[in-house]
Amino acid sequence: MNTSTSRFWHIEFVLLAAIWGSSFLFTHVAAVELGVLPTAAARVAIGFLFLMPILLAKGQAHYLRKHWKPVLFVGIFNSGIPFALYAFAVMHISTGLSSILNATVPLFGAVVAWIWLGDKPGWLRTVGLAIGFSGIVLLAGGQVGFKSNHSGISPIWAVLACLGATTCYALAASFTKKHVPPVPALVTATGSQLGALLALLLPALWFAPDHMPVAHTWLALLAVGVLCTGVAYVLYFRLIDHAGPSKALTVTFLIPVFAVAYGVIFLGEHVTGWMLMCGLIVLVGTALSSGLVKFRQP
């Protein structure tokens, strides 16, 4: 990799983290008025409409036609269910806390790969799993960073929704590795948005609001659909090409920094020392369990 490419990679890395970090903010804004399922359905619909022309322009649509069944199915777990769960979560806990819990995706990915694919972790990754899950227990048990709400729903359900979403991402990753044929990443991304849309469409229509959303809700939907889904996927694939999948995966650790900042600035959320400490424990455990941190042998 030459110097200019390396510099370009770092810019895209930070930009992608900033964009994905904003998804929690935009999802919160949209879900408050539209509700959980309509917000998730609108996000995947806009993402699909953005990505499909790119897929056609690149001449990769034939891959989707050939392998549409597993690609569309994985979208239910890679986009549909997680987007709905996060739309629920950000209405009951802070967007910053939601983003920290989202950073456990590699942690749950390691567990699912161990159980499903037999990818048994070594001692260092096992220690990482223990550390990461300890951080989750401390974070949830302390009930830090929660926003007061009057819905009567305990914030713990929002925490469990976030963890359910990360488990779905982990299941989708292992399913893709085991059942989805090797196709360009853009094909999987576009097809998964379509699959998620088909799964969410009828429930979203059933729970659709009975009024026309206000302007800022539409802007939030466009932002989370075009920017945080469509543009973010394109940037992610470019990052994989420029830096490799291992380095691209580490963007997960930078996302909470932006998400917490957005929540504080735009939503007036509060960040406690306990929340930051538990978040650091979770990130350390996730880094170890996913193999991103390794000790060199002497």
Return the domain boundaries, the chain. 3-289
Residue 144 has pLDDT above 60, yes or no: no
Structure confidence at residue 298 as a pLDDT band (50, 70, 90): very low
Structure confidence at residue 152 as a pLDDT band (50, 70, 90): low
Structure confidence at residue 18 as a pLDDT band (50, 70, 90): very high
Output 68-73 pairs: Cβ under 8 A, ≥24 positions apart: 68/191, 70/175, 70/179, 70/180, 70/181, 71/180, 71/183, 71/187, 71/188, 71/191, 71/192, 71/195, 72/191, 72/192, 72/194, 72/195, 72/198, 73/175, 73/195
Question: pLDDT tens digits for 218-243?
Answer: 999 999 999 999 899 888 877 776 77
Output 222-227 pairs: Cβ under 8 A, ≥24 positions apart: 222/46, 223/22, 223/26, 224/23, 224/26, 224/27, 224/30, 224/43, 224/46, 225/42, 225/43, 225/44, 225/45, 225/46, 225/47, 225/49, 225/50, 226/46, 226/47, 226/50, 227/19, 227/22, 227/26
Q: Which two tokens stand for residue 54?
A: 């790119």
What proportion of the chain, given as a percentage, has pLDDT over 70?
88
Question: pLDDT tens digits for 99-125?
Answer: 988 888 887 887 888 888 787 778 787
Residue scoring higher pLDDT (113 or 72): 72
Residue scoring higher pLDDT (147 or 264): 264
Structure confidence at residue 290 as a pLDDT band (50, 70, 90): low
Structure confidence at residue 280 as a pLDDT band (50, 70, 90): confident
Give pLDDT, residue 3.
Answer: 46
Segment 33-41 mean pLDDT: 96
Segment 176-187 mean pLDDT: 87
Burial class (CB in 10 A: 0-12, 13-18, 19+), 134: middle
Q: Which two tokens stand for residue 76?
A: 């239910």
Residue scoring higher pLDDT (146 or 177): 177
Q: Give the least confident one: 1-10, 42-51, 161-170, 246-255.
A: 1-10
Give pLDDT, residue 145.
Answer: 45
Give pLDDT, residue 167.
Answer: 93
Mean pLDDT of the chain, nearest integer: 85
